Chains A and B, each alone.
Chain A
Amino acid sequence: MNIVVCIKQVPDAKDVRLDPETNTLSREGVKSVINPYDRHAMEEGVRLKEEFGGKVTVVSMGPPQARAILEEAISCGADDAILVSDRAFAGADTLATTYTLSQAIKKIGAVDLVICGKQATDGDTAQVGPGLAVRLDMAYVTCVQQVSTVTDKVVVLERMMDDGYDEVEVELPALLTVVKEVNTPRFPSIRGLRKARVADIPSYTAEDIGADVAMLGLGGSPTQVVKVFPPEPKGDRTILTGSVDEIAEKLAEIFRESSIGG
């Protein structure tokens, strides 16, 4: 089975700060990491390969630095990695992103299963998975919490719902987006790290993937992010820390003092 996993490099949420003057997100000096959901997508690809056979290729669209997350993917068991990188891709919204990724995936050849994270922690739209499936003319299932069986024709899985889960059987080729409950990502292995250090990771340009330049990057994006800002803080906030019992105790104390709840 030929599996493709899409992964995105995002700023480490633990590191993101607000610039107090401009009130915008400051990305300077912020560490870049694999989008947390994509770790689970990667693990699921590798797990399915180990259980049912096949090959896992990891794809990321991003600047040259995104090579780091592709190496990490190889150290965790992916067979191949492809960077999709070109100045022409800059400023892409989800429409342009799905077009670019679909062109790159088509170049890989016949793909049975594409796995994405449910959403990226920066853009947060959760549109890339479904959009990509439409462009690749595949069935798709979002919010997958467990994949139980894969044959050469179908995948049987559980889709997380607010009040439980749906059991779904979907025909291949298909695209899945996964939630964190789907698995526990593994650590890299020593052999994987050695392989990643010498891995040949090709970088595809717009020309390599035969893309229509008008559909790429800022120019191909009807949506443009004009400004990113945090909402105005509403009144005073206090964050209570400690064990559940300690927090409950502190909360009760605050209620007592402020005469809330009589």
Chain B
Amino acid sequence: MDHFLSEDQQAIVDLAKQISREMIVPKRVYYDETEEYPLDIVETLAKSDFFALFVPEEFGGLGGSCYDLVLALEQIGHGCVGIATAYAASALGTYPIIVGGSQELKEKYLPKVATGELRAAFGLTESNAGSDAGGIQTTAVLDGDEWVLNGTKQWITNGGQAHIYTIIAITDPHKGARGASMFIVEADDPGFSCGPKEKKMGIRCSATTELIMKDCRIPKDRIIGRRGTGFITVMKTLDKSRPGIASLGVGLAQAALDEAASYAKTRYQFGKPIISFQAVQHLLADMAIETEAARALLYVAARHIDAHPKDMSKGSAMCKVKATDVAMKVTTDAVQVLAGYGFMREYPVEKMMRDAKILQIYEGTNQIQRNVIGQELNKEYTK
């Protein structure tokens, strides 16, 4: 359907599609099977300015419009959600600096993120703090001119591949929600290391590791925002990043629909292409309806966020839930349409189904998103 994109947005879509079809699709099986980090593709995206897309213009970026990034990520996710995650994780890791960092930190890091010279990662989750971010146990203590960090982050995307890590740690244990702060840790800071790459069900090429801080010392000015603003920065970051996950969902659902529909036209049973059976048609029709609906909600949310940057929680959570639930359903149904062949690794849909699952989990599970939406509704209806 026509979303009346501007000429510039259409150019971004076309370029992302070109890179996706010409470079990502031919390599996605290799990267899924070897679980290697797709460095050549990430570097290609950087050269073509995709890292500049989420950085503000005054720091060497292209403006940081949510809509532009969403359009790009949809096409990259259409090719491979694992590779798209390896790219998008840098946006997630950079947002804390954009939403909360000092002018100095922005000037120091953002121009290099925009060129792709620096890749980023976001460190929130710990073994006892998943949905409940308040449960984090990593600490940061001020010692003279340095912060000293201790603790272990778990399942951090881009672990070992990023150059900078935005990490939340407890700075004042007794202050509750105001007791945590965010910091920038550089990969070669003393006392910082990454664990081995986790073995995963899907998005296998994206690196997921522990971040280990043992008396990790960083300069005092690497704190993001004021002391005690860590959780606020985390919430703002996730509000900003979730439409990106929704985009991967829409791109993936579209890719699965594309595979299923074209297969259904060429697979003959009972002397007819299976697309002529109404049961198959209805499956495809529902896949198409849901994908278009998810896309429409995503684009509306992205435009709303660009126009009302202070009011993003609800729209951002809504599009994340909708698009990723749709991606899970549509990829599962695509396997059903291809049936036995769909279950074989020779065809792309089994990977799509494996890749879909993470979208309902990371950057806040879909249950947590519904909590966010529910809390917003609660606020709205008490006015």
Contacts and interface: CB of A to CB of B under 8 A. Distances in A.
Interface stretch (A12-20, A21-29, A31-39, A182-190): A182-190
A222 to B, nearest CB: 41
B318 interface: no
A250 interface: no
A188 B15 contact: yes
Contacts of B47: 186-187, 189
B50 A190 contact: yes
Contacts of B19: 187
B49 to A, nearest CB: 4
Interface in A28-68: none
B44 interface: yes
Residue of A187, A191, A192 ringed by the most chain B CB atoms within 10 A: A187
Residue of A188, A189, A190, A193 ringed by the most chain B CB atoms within 10 A: A190
B276 interface: no
Contacts of B11: 190, 193-194, 197
Interface string A187-209: 11111111001000000000000
Contacts, number: 36
Interface in B45-85: 47-50, 52-53, 62
Given A197-B7, A197-B11, A190 B53 contact: yes
Interface in A150-204: 186-194, 197
Interface string A117-134: 000000000000000000
A190 B18 contact: no
B44 A190 contact: no
A191 B48 CA distance: 8
B368 interface: no
A187 B18 contact: yes
Contacts of B8: 194, 197
Nearest to B40: A184
B187 interface: no
Q: Is the interface of B mostly helix, strand, loop or mixed?
A: helix
B72 to A, nearest CB: 9
Interface string B193-235: 0000000000000000000000000000000000000000000
A189 B7 contact: no
B44 A191 contact: no
A187 B7 contact: no
A190 B12 contact: yes
Nearest to B47: A186
A187 B12 CA distance: 12
A190 B15 CA distance: 8
Given A194-B8, A197-B7, A197-B11, A189 B18 contact: no
A197 B44 CA distance: 22
Contacts of A197: 7-8, 11
Contacts of B22: 187
Given A197-B7, A197-B11, A189 B44 contact: no
B18 A191 contact: no
Interface of A: 186-194, 197
28 contacts: A186-B44, A186-B48, A187-B15, A187-B18, A187-B19, A187-B22, A187-B23, A187-B44, A187-B47, A188-B48, A189-B47, A189-B48, A189-B49, A190-B11, A190-B12, A190-B15, A190-B48, A190-B49, A190-B50, A190-B52, A190-B53, A190-B62, A191-B49, A191-B52, A191-B62, A194-B8, A197-B7, A197-B11
Given A189-B49, A190-B53, A193-B11, 20 more contacts: A186-B44, A186-B48, A187-B18, A187-B19, A187-B22, A187-B23, A187-B44, A187-B48, A188-B48, A189-B47, A189-B48, A190-B11, A190-B12, A190-B49, A190-B62, A191-B49, A191-B52, A197-B7, A197-B8, A197-B11
Q: Which 4 A-B pairs have the closest CB atoms?
A: A190-B49, A189-B49, A189-B48, A193-B11
